[in-house]
Structure 1
């Protein structure tokens, strides 16, 4: 057992850990990057990139099956080859993972350790059974893992998480998706558009991240055109029968229903990866779930020189947020005790569905009544959207009554990911609705729908 000394030890070499290492080094500190699992980041291996590869295949299939309204008729049968679909998903996924591995390999060997880390005491880590690391500061960037409720654990390999989808060699016949969050809706719709018989069982009426009642209702009806969607379902039993699973559940009408599936894709949330860290050996205060109590601004745990970044802290499990947090945590760890708060970018969230869902800034649920007005646009008759036959969607923008400043938006509609960036930039620049309307809008583009919503907000301000 050897012991090494460093200024900063980073546990986890993912989307937060890698930026933390680089930031610590840039601040002039010595640093060691520790990884027990496979390198490659959650995003590249089982998250952003493989899911978007599956979605891209689904979009191609969906477009090919819906050309007739344009007067374009494809002779013969359109065939979706599940094996070819999954082969491309996996090969391109591996290519993206390779880029991350190249980045890790560029780190000097003496700055990398392989093995799971656990705390011996506040400043001492044991890595595997071969090395102890004495560090002045520590960054915990261990990521998160899918939660599988006990009901589904008994199903063996018939209960899967999103990680497992990207290891399929072929597409299954029939899948139940438990959970109607971002992962459940994205993968559920993608599989449905690729010819899989999909049932999505949500809870409490959830539709992705949406909180605006009107937008949620519109999105719910839209998704029901792609797959069976029970947004208020309650699963009462899950029983394995050979290579199938029988689910018994209450549907949206409260009626008892039963169905049989090849797989149950469980998208019931994620939990931080703290189990291996032996945090009880430290003086860090833990909450009732065993999660360190920390400052969400500085990312510091209590007064300890320990910083928690990325999915491990559960604040905003998004790649760009993880990278920002990693850089902040690495810098603060290197400069401890001179820590500074993280300056977050404008909140932005995107669900890559068809049509897309996006949220920017303040959520509808977080806004105080009578302090804001809502500007609305339907994309059903929006010019460019109708030209492309992508005219499905509803947008709400929120504007402060007193300052006329843009506060946020929730919507479902075409080109949602692109419009979300325009609005996030406007929010971060603290623009008023009047200044936003002074910006150029080309014709004909989908963004003209955004202009309509902003104009309607101005009209609402006049009435107010």
Structure 2
């Protein structure tokens, strides 16, 4: 058995793993990057990029349908499913190729393609692609193994017609119908895109959630909007899923018609993802695990307990977003390289965007977190985009933005939004939150006319009026209520 001794071993060559490798290599050349399947990140292969390519096609189709609103009539609009998916794959492969090129730029001696498992706290056994086994002894180890789709058992009754987002981008043509289970980020983005590309879509959820939205007012606004395009029940009562000669049958309770059975070509399981730690023999790592077998770790250092092992990216399932994975790769890589000098890394203001139309965005603290942190002593400002000038001009006048501020300090705490240009407004808000600006300081910033950002100013003005600003009294509250 071939044996290697390194200072830092990184398991997983996704976004977090690649960044961790680059950071660790600044300190030591005795580093190895181990990848179990194939190079190319989740984002490039099956996540951010191919999904946005599909969404871009859907947005173009939808915009053509809106032509009569502006007095423009487009003739002979048709959707070529084969062409749509061919472009998705072509551009997807281009993004993946760029990632692979980056990895192949690393020294060959630093790369191992094979599945790693723990044989001890410092010892990894890697089964390489050619079936050989390799022993890697590492002073420090970073787990960056990513995640995979999580599929509830009852959905597997769809058998060969069950797909996840990984599979969808390999379709050669668009189907006629898809049942989507899971109105989370993936389900909403792909479900709406398929619907706008002419696919009959029905979406089922559990528990009432709509994407990552936590503000009930925003959730209600989004739910109404999505249901105007396709049926979405966020707390569906599904009785049965089964494979039939015609596809997949789904029996569910409709609020109006009672028990209904519909048949679809495919069932898309967008029911969350699970971290890839269960194949690592993590029990041999001598670190503390929770009841689900996940390593316990410090989110600021990414260190597992007081060990020499770190965990970053989707593998820790804390913040499954690409920019967070990159930040965590940096923190884990720096700390693994400098061990035992482990330091707290910079964690940026939480920021998430869902690329539906209208878009969904969350910045800073959620309304529940604001309520908890401020002990109920906060205010809310909001704006509807129904009559917002620029939004009406471009025919995207739908949605709601709510912003949260703290009584006493006047600090901006967070926001949620369902509306136009949310991806851009969210960045302005995230920068403001990270700089710890007060609401009045945010209102001192320039706002051009006519732009959608003027809606943000309207919400901030209302929030500023609702805030009680001044020294915080001993009882911790300036008003008898939260000022909502």
CA distance in 1, matches of 2:134, 2:9: 13
The aligned residue for residue 230 of structure 1 is 233
In the TM superposition, what are the counterparts of 1:318-337 in structure 2 within 5 Å? Answer: 318-337=321-340
RMSD: 1.3
In the TM superposition, what are the counterparts of 1:297-312 in structure 2 within 5 Å? Answer: 297-312=300-315
C-alpha displacement of 1:155: 2.2
Structure 1: runs of 5 or more not aligned: none
Match of 1:426 among 432, 439, 442: 432
Q: Is the 8 A contact 2:221 2:400 kept in 1?
A: yes
Q: Is the 8 A contact 1:380 1:393 kept in 2?
A: yes
2:467 is the alignment partner of 1:461: yes
Match of 2:401 among 385, 395, 399: 395
Residue 460 to residue 288, structure 1, CA distance change in 2 (3 Å): same
The aligned residue for residue 39 of structure 2 is 39
CA distance in 2, matches of 1:289, 1:370: 33
The aligned residue for residue 210 of structure 2 is 207
Match of 2:442 among 417, 420, 436: 436
The aligned residue for residue 81 of structure 1 is 80
CA distance in 1, matches of 2:8, 2:160: 40
CA distance in 2, matches of 1:19, 1:442: 38
The aligned residue for residue 15 of structure 1 is 15
CA distance in 2, matches of 1:322, 1:253: 44
- SS at structure 2 position matched to 1:121: coil
2:148 is the alignment partner of 1:145: yes
Q: Is the 8 A contact 1:355 1:413 kept in 2?
A: yes
CA distance in 2, matches of 1:278, 1:234: 38
- SS at structure 2 position matched to 1:154: helix
Q: Is the 8 A contact 1:29 1:334 kept in 2?
A: no
Q: Is the 8 A contact 1:232 1:252 kept in 2?
A: no
Q: Is the 8 A contact 2:24 2:337 kept in 1?
A: yes
TM-score (norm 2): 0.94
The aligned residue for residue 112 of structure 1 is 111
C-alpha displacement of 1:282: 2.4
CA distance in 2, matches of 1:74, 1:327: 49
- SS at structure 1 position matched to 2:119: strand
2:167 is the alignment partner of 1:164: yes
In the TM superposition, what are the counterparts of 1:259-278 in structure 2 within 5 Å? Answer: 259-278=262-281
- SS at structure 1 position matched to 2:33: strand
In the TM superposition, what are the counterparts of 1:121-140 in structure 2 within 5 Å? Answer: 121-128=120-127, 129-140=132-143
C-alpha displacement of 1:234: 2.4
The aligned residue for residue 95 of structure 2 is 96
C-alpha displacement of 1:389: 0.6
Match of 1:375 among 378, 381, 391: 381
CA distance in 2, matches of 1:149, 1:89: 28
Q: Is the 8 A contact 2:81 2:174 kept in 1?
A: yes
1:194-247 CA distance string (max 9 Å, x none):
000000111221110001111100000011111111122022211100250101
- SS at structure 1 position matched to 2:262: strand
**Higher mean C-alpha deviation, range 440-449 or range 366-375:** 366-375
Count of matched residue pairs:
463
In the TM superposition, what are the counterparts of 1:238-387 in structure 2 within 5 Å? Answer: 238-251=241-254, 255-368=258-371, 370-387=376-393
Q: Is the 8 A contact 1:310 1:323 kept in 2?
A: yes
Q: Is the 8 A contact 1:32 1:111 kept in 2?
A: yes
**Higher mean C-alpha deviation, range 244-253 or range 53-62:** 244-253
CA distance in 2, matches of 1:111, 1:252: 58
Runs of 4+ that moved beyond 3 A: 251-255
CA distance in 1, matches of 2:237, 2:288: 36
CA distance in 1, matches of 2:350, 2:432: 11
Residue 345 to residue 254, structure 1, CA distance change in 2 (3 Å): farther
Q: Is the 8 A contact 1:158 1:243 kept in 2?
A: no
Residue 207 to residue 252, structure 1, CA distance change in 2 (3 Å): farther
**Higher mean C-alpha deviation, range 256-265 or range 172-181:** 256-265
CA distance in 1, matches of 2:113, 2:143: 15
- SS at structure 1 position matched to 2:440: helix
Residue 446 to residue 137, structure 1, CA distance change in 2 (3 Å): same
1:70-93 CA distance string (max 9 Å, x none):
011123x20100000000000000
- SS at structure 1 position matched to 2:15: coil
Q: Is the 8 A contact 1:204 1:232 kept in 2?
A: yes
CA distance in 1, matches of 2:141, 2:207: 39
- SS at structure 1 position matched to 2:343: coil
Q: Is the 8 A contact 1:215 1:410 kept in 2?
A: yes
C-alpha displacement of 1:293: 1.5
- SS at structure 1 position matched to 2:90: helix
**Higher mean C-alpha deviation, range 380-389 or range 246-255:** 246-255
Residue 371 to residue 322, structure 1, CA distance change in 2 (3 Å): same
Residue 233 to residue 251, structure 1, CA distance change in 2 (3 Å): farther
CA distance in 2, matches of 1:233, 1:253: 13
Q: Is the 8 A contact 1:233 1:252 kept in 2?
A: no
Structure 2: runs of 5 or more not aligned: 469-478
